Structure 1
Amino acid sequence: MAAGLKRDPVVILRIDGEDLNEFVKSPSFEPELVSIFSEIELPNGSLKDYIVKAFEKLTVDDGMPPATDPWVISNIVEPALESLGGGLDQQVTQEIFLSEFAKAVENVVQLLQEQPAIVAHSQNTFDGSGIKRLLSNKFELEKTLDSAIKSVPKDRHGKISKEYLGLALDSLAAFAGLPPLGAVNQMDSIMTEALKMFDAGDGKTVKEEEFKKLLREVIGSIMLQLEGNPVSVSINSVVHEPVASSSTLLQPSSP
């Protein structure tokens, strides 16, 4: 997912169970779990399935390293579940889930105290500012649009099908501070909706200048969406190699 995203500073977090323990003891813990339980859609899922999925929904802000990482699964999540003993295959109710997940989290806290997880964390926010900068620089805009047009095929009359607006948008994404299509789900929805607004899939062919005008309007529409509702993307990767300097280790901020 990180491909093509703006390179924001990476912070190294030492997740040792302290913040997770604070989260467990906070008044927001149970309401958060109830919300997570309602979001999990596993019609035939066991208690174990629900607990694993709930751990995946916790973030570094909660004090939990990424639960989908193989190291975290084998060293933290699976041992925490083993400590619960039997009963993980039973059908799930909210009451059972809350009770057993609380026990599992306590086990995770203990395991992280014994073996902290080192996580490389970066935050990307797409707020339309990259598009705004591009639109305000006429020379750069024209150069970028010309480059994007070169990436799409033309018919024998030099016209371009509106179906290629998505391809052109993907070509100029990096210059407009946007991720590539397919990299960020929330952004895909916004970009796809903008393309639909301008009938990108109707198959109609237009002249180059009209195509460039449509492309400008598409990114302008995306900019307005992002200015009103910025999209933040958190990227977390467990660091398996030793970190050179302990002075770079920072605790994640408490929720």
Structure 2
Amino acid sequence: MMGSSWNWMRRMRRRRRKTSKGDIITLADSLPKSLARPWPPLALPLPWDFPLLPTHSTPTSNTRGRICFVTLDGHLLKNYALSTDFTMDALAIFSEFKTAHLPIQSVLSRFTVEQGMPPTSNPWVIKNIVKEVLKSWPLKSANTAKPAEFVEALRGVLMGVAMRLKTTPLKMAHTVTTYDGKSLLQFLTNKHQMIKALEMTWKSLPKEEHGKLIKEYVGVALDILSPATGLPHCGTVQEMDKIVSSELKMVDGVEGGVLNRKEFKKVMVEVVGRIMNELERNPVSVSSDVVITKSIVFPTQEDNSEQRNH
């Protein structure tokens, strides 16, 4: 049940509504169109459009670094490939490459823009750089690969990527977002806003016939609170999904499987607190890379004349 509710939230879409006072975040913003209406047997009307938190007072969802514009010309990647840091990283990857039979393209995704590697999730990078370089990948079978062979083969791939970047530099927009629990601490310490947000969330959720909340909706409630807590919506950051899912397991022990209003608020505060403690111990950083420009090779006059002849 908890899993199905969590999967449902992955499909949630958000909408914004403008007023004369500016943008405000409402509970309806966090619900999909199909569910942005009262559930029976709740009474009509329900306050779907009351403010959850004004935009200006919503805590930042994370520690977001500045957007850096980086030109990858192969120099940084070449230096990394020749360093001892690369050797250690490659040896760490080797065991997983051999036991899990990882494709080499997945191995390359382990390297980052900070190391000079363009994002292998970008279709242009895959087509014009990665696939071309991997044509010379020497290891045909992971079972027979030796650690030293793997390291040198992988080094050769990175050097090949560096050579292509030298002739075709890529300009990247790069930023790192860190979830470190600070926004959750802000949510918990601002008692007035916290109680207000929890109360509105309680009113918005469907109840069973005795007016209590089924425990499986705690995950839905947590996702509705995302604008206030600073947590990403379910399904947007895989590492955060794992942490949230782990902490939501505490709800399985709820007696009777239902919560009244007071119990709901207590459980929500405890869940948020547990997530905050985990992020303080182990912050989650997510990098975002976008290729904003790439060199274009225009045909020469000789190429044009050859095309006309054909």
Q: Does 1:10 align with 2:63?
A: no
Q: Does 1:59 align with 2:112?
A: yes
Match of 2:88 in 1: 31
TM value normalised by structure 2: 0.68
Match of 2:218 in 1: 165
The answer on whether the counterparts of 1:163 and 1:201 sit within 8 Å (CA) in structure 2 is no
TM value normalised by structure 1: 0.82
Match of 1:251 in 2: none
User: Judging changes above 3 Å, is the alpha-carbon distance between structure 1 residues 80 and 27 closer, same or farther for their aligned structure 2 residues?
Assistant: same
The secondary structure found in structure 1 opposite 2:252 is coil
Q: Does 1:232 align with 2:267?
A: no
Q: Which residue among 76, 79, 85 is the counterpart of 1:19?
A: 76
Q: Deviations over 1:67-125 (max 9, x none)?
A: 1211111121122223x27x554555033322222222111111001111222211111
The answer on whether the counterparts of 2:180 and 2:282 sit within 8 Å (CA) in structure 1 is yes
CA apart distance, 1:185: 2.0
Q: Deviations over 1:38-88 (max 9, x none)?
A: 23367566xxx33x2221111111110111211111121122223x27x55
Which structure ranks higher in relative contact order (CA pairs < 8 Å, sequence separation ≥ 6)?
1
Matches of 2:78 and 2:202, distance apart in 1? 53
Matches of 2:88 and 2:219, distance apart in 1? 41
Matches of 2:224 and 2:98, distance apart in 1? 36
Instruction: Spell out the pairing of 1:77-226 with structure 2 (5 A cutoff).
Output: 77-82=130-135, 84=136, 87=138, 89-91=140-142, 92-93=144-145, 94-199=147-252, 204-226=257-279
The answer on whether the counterparts of 2:63 and 2:179 sit within 8 Å (CA) in structure 1 is no
User: Judging changes above 3 Å, is the alpha-carbon distance between structure 1 residues 29 and 43 closer, same or farther for their aligned structure 2 residues?
Assistant: closer
User: Judging changes above 3 Å, is the alpha-carbon distance between structure 1 residues 221 and 76 closer, same or farther for their aligned structure 2 residues?
Assistant: same
User: Judging changes above 3 Å, is the alpha-carbon distance between structure 1 residues 176 and 113 closer, same or farther for their aligned structure 2 residues?
Assistant: same
Q: Please, which moves more after superposition, 144-153 or 155-164?
A: 144-153
Q: What's the C-alpha RMSD, in Å, of the aligned pairs?
A: 2.6
CA apart distance, 1:194: 1.5
Letter aligned with residue 15 of structure 1: L
CA apart distance, 1:230: 1.4
Matches of 2:218 and 2:72, distance apart in 1? 44
Q: Please, which moves more after superposition, 209-218 or 180-189?
A: 180-189
Letter aligned with residue 67 of structure 2: V
CA apart distance, 1:146: 2.1
Q: Deviations over 1:119-158 (max 9, x none)?
A: 2211111111111111111111012112322342112221
The answer on whether the counterparts of 2:169 and 2:294 sit within 8 Å (CA) in structure 1 is no
Matches of 1:153 and 1:41, distance apart in 2? 49
What stretches of structure 1 move > 6 A for 4+ residues in a row? 200-203
Match of 1:40 in 2: 97
The answer on whether the counterparts of 1:148 and 1:171 sit within 8 Å (CA) in structure 2 is yes
Structure number with bigger Rg? 2
Match of 2:3 in 1: none
The secondary structure found in structure 2 opposite 1:239 is strand
User: Judging changes above 3 Å, is the alpha-carbon distance between structure 1 residues 54 and 221 closer, same or farther for their aligned structure 2 residues?
Assistant: same
Letter aligned with residue 152 of structure 2: S
Q: Please, which moves more after superposition, 119-128 or 4-13?
A: 4-13
CA apart distance, 1:160: 0.6
CA apart distance, 1:232: 1.3
The number of residue pairs the alignment matches comes to: 235
The answer on whether the counterparts of 1:17 and 1:116 sit within 8 Å (CA) in structure 2 is yes
CA apart distance, 1:239: 2.0
Matches of 1:175 and 1:34, distance apart in 2? 42
